[in-house]
Amino acid sequence: MIVFGRRIPMVASLLLWAILWEIIGQLQVTILLPPLSSVVMRLFEIVPTASFMSALGVTAYAFIVGNVIAIAVGVPLGILMGRSVIADRLFLPWVNLFLSAPLTALVPVIMVIFGLGQTTIILTVVLFAIWIIVLDARAGVRSISPSLVEMAHSFGANRLQAFTRIYLWAALPEILAGIRLGVIRAVKGVIIGQLLVSIVGFGALFKLYGSRFLMEHFWTALLVLFALAFILAESLAWLERRVDFYAASRG
């Protein structure tokens, strides 16, 4: 925004919101919203505690394992669907269905089969992340120029070489875009999974803070969570822009 001919950066508006939060908190409009300053003070107090650190660790573990599984399964499946008409027709309807389906409804199924533990949360992460990864990998492979494929074959590349040397690299920008979107969905998945299982990680923390009505603690956890999610999303976007740059110069 430009005011009096000076450019005011977008972050400044976040500052404005923070001030607004502080004022509402100080005025004690609602007990639900403690002032930002006291939440920030609380941050230094509870973040180093063992329970918070372990919640963070447990969440990070489920999140990372889930994403690794989703990428390890999703990318090859997407490439396969992009390459083979039959695989595409067999899987595409289901991938599309799960992409927009209310996946929270499936979490109880995972819960009754795998119990109330990390496995369920990891599978929830996979469930949230994988579909968009598959679709974007598929889109990436489909957008590869046929001449590139013909070039590989004319130089005698076999199937495995064609896969590792051509498809994976040529489709990289789209694959990365899919992974970024998948990771953002996974953040939501891991929290939803923990809320539903409610005895693991942040789910347990929220339950604890909620039942004791510790609003400052609650907001602290939210603040940390939202900040981490935002930083993750922005850094992935940054990475993707770098690759897009390489892709643009690739021609």
- x/- letters, 176..205, toward another protein (CB under 8 A): -xx--x--x--xx-xxx--xx-----x---
* Residue 216 binds another protein (CB under 8 A): no
Which residue lies nearer to another protein by CB, 24 or 233? 233
Q: Rounded distance, CA 95 to CA 229, Å?
A: 25
Among positions 112, 159, 248, 251, the unique one binding another protein when judged by CB under 8 A: 112
* Residue 245 binds another protein (CB under 8 A): no
* Residue 160 binds another protein (CB under 8 A): no
* Residue 251 binds another protein (CB under 8 A): no
| Coil vs helix vs strand at 117 | coil
Is 99:131 a contact under the CB 8 Å cutoff? yes
**What's the closest the beta carbon of residue 146 comes to another protein, in angstroms?**
6
**b/e for 107-128, b at 16 or more Cβ within 10 A?**
beebbeeeeeebebbbbbbbbb
Contacts of 74 (CB under 8 A, 6+ apart): 129, 130, 131, 133, 134, 137, 178, 182
**What's the closest the beta carbon of residue 165 comes to another protein, in angstroms?**
14
Query: CA triplet 128, 121, 188: central angle to 5 degrees?
Result: 40
Query: Considering CB under 8 A, how many residues would be counted as binding another protein?
Result: 81
* Residue 168 binds another protein (CB under 8 A): no
* Residue 164 binds another protein (CB under 8 A): no
Mark residue 150 as left, alpha or beta (left: phi above 0; alpha: psi -120 to 50; beta: remaining).
Answer: alpha
* Residue 138 binds another protein (CB under 8 A): yes
Among positions 4, 6, 11, 159, the unique one binding another protein when judged by CB under 8 A: 11
Among positions 168, 172, 232, 247, the unique one binding another protein when judged by CB under 8 A: 232
118: nearest Cα among 46, 57, 188: 57
**What's the closest the beta carbon of residue 118 comes to another protein, in angstroms?**
17
Residue type present at position 31: I
* Residue 24 binds another protein (CB under 8 A): no
Q: For 101, which DSSP code?
A: S
- x/- letters, 50..89, toward another protein (CB under 8 A): --------------------------------xxxxx-xx
**Beta partners for 3?**
6
Which residue lies nearer to another protein by CB, 65 or 243? 243
Return the biggest CA–CA distance within the chain. Answer: 74
* Residue 153 binds another protein (CB under 8 A): no
